[in-house]
Amino acid sequence: MWALRGLRNGVVTTRWPSRPDPYAVEVPGPATVLDAHPAADGGALEALCPTGAITRAQEPSGNGSVRLDQGKCVLCGRCLAARPDVFGWSTGPAGAAVHRSGLVVPELSESPERLAELQDRLGAKTAALRRSVHLRHVDAGSDGTEEWEILALANPIYDLHRLGIFFTASPRHADILLATGAGARGMTEPLQRTYDAMPEPKIVIAVGTDAVSGGLATPSYAVTGGIGDTVPVDVWLPGSPPTPFSILHALLLAIGRMPASSSALGHSKGAQR
């Protein structure tokens, strides 16, 4: 029965990123800014966001540019519902960045030298890992959504193993730490100990908006506001939750198989006009 079903379905595994996959670009990512210079609104735009992701530069005219930190966006959709002329959804899986400020749209001007330095540092760490990589996942206070997406990486559609990437149960065998959750204080020590137990070179990916900034759980007595204060993060991946394609992109970015420039995948996360 299962053999017949398999024959009937054929190969379902995506070829992404070596070949385009329409589904990879269809699923919306965090909110983005469509119009960075709307008319003055007396602070109404900032008030739309429950996580403080939206800010507006203070300018004497009162018409400062709008910025949106995708690292704080929990995809609630309030800003799009209220101001579809100013905000929209980003598209494509390439939402991860090698520096935290790279998640802000319109993009903050990061100097090419600084970007090159970050990429070189990451490349030097990962030069030995390109063929076979092992992941250790730690849930540091997640709501469980990121775990479903990470789990999906092992199914026949995404088939993480085709890229030479595997999960391991032991941090001593792990090259990459996938950390999810808002940084529950009770998980600070286990997260730190997992990181310490990993051999060099080791990479940390903050998976999801909660891991990047704490999301809705911040500020709180119970969380540290993301995992960045506990372990050094190499790749920041927003999303609530990020899609399996986004997680794949972050992994390939971390091990140097994907350019840091999101435009390489047609990703749209900046201002459109």
Residues that bind ligand SF4 (CB under 6 A): 31, 48-49, 51, 53-54, 68, 73-79
* Residue located via tokens 């999906």: 152
Cβ 60 to ligand SF4, closest distance in Å?
26
CA distance 25 to 86: 21
Cβ 34 to ligand SF4, closest distance in Å?
12
Decide: residue 96, CB within 10 A, 0-12 exposed, 13-18 middle, 19+ buried: buried
Secondary structure string (H, E, C) spanning 50-91? CCCCEEECCCCCCCCCEEEEHHHCCCCCHHHHHCCCCEEECE
Burial annotation 197-231 (CB, 10 A radius, 16+ → b, else e): ebeeebbbbbbbbbbbbbbbbbeeeebbbbbbebb
Residue number with CB closer to ligand SF4 (171 or 215): 215
Is the separation of the CB atoms in 46 and 56 below 8 Å? yes
Cβ 69 to ligand SF4, closest distance in Å?
8
Residue number with CB closer to ligand SF4 (69 or 175): 69
Residue number with CB closer to ligand SF4 (90 or 224): 90
Residue number with CB closer to ligand SF4 (51 or 180): 51
CA distance 178 to 206: 6
Cβ 103 to ligand SF4, closest distance in Å?
12
Cβ 82 to ligand SF4, closest distance in Å?
8
**125 contact partners, CB below 8 Å, separation of at least 6:** 201, 202, 203, 234
Residue number with CB closer to ligand SF4 (76 or 154): 76
| Bridge partners of residue 56, in order along the sequence | 66
CA distance 124 to 126: 6
Residue number with CB closer to ligand SF4 (25 or 49): 49
Residue number with CB closer to ligand SF4 (66 or 258): 66
Cβ 56 to ligand SF4, closest distance in Å?
13
Cβ 91 to ligand SF4, closest distance in Å?
14
**120 contact partners, CB below 8 Å, separation of at least 6:** none
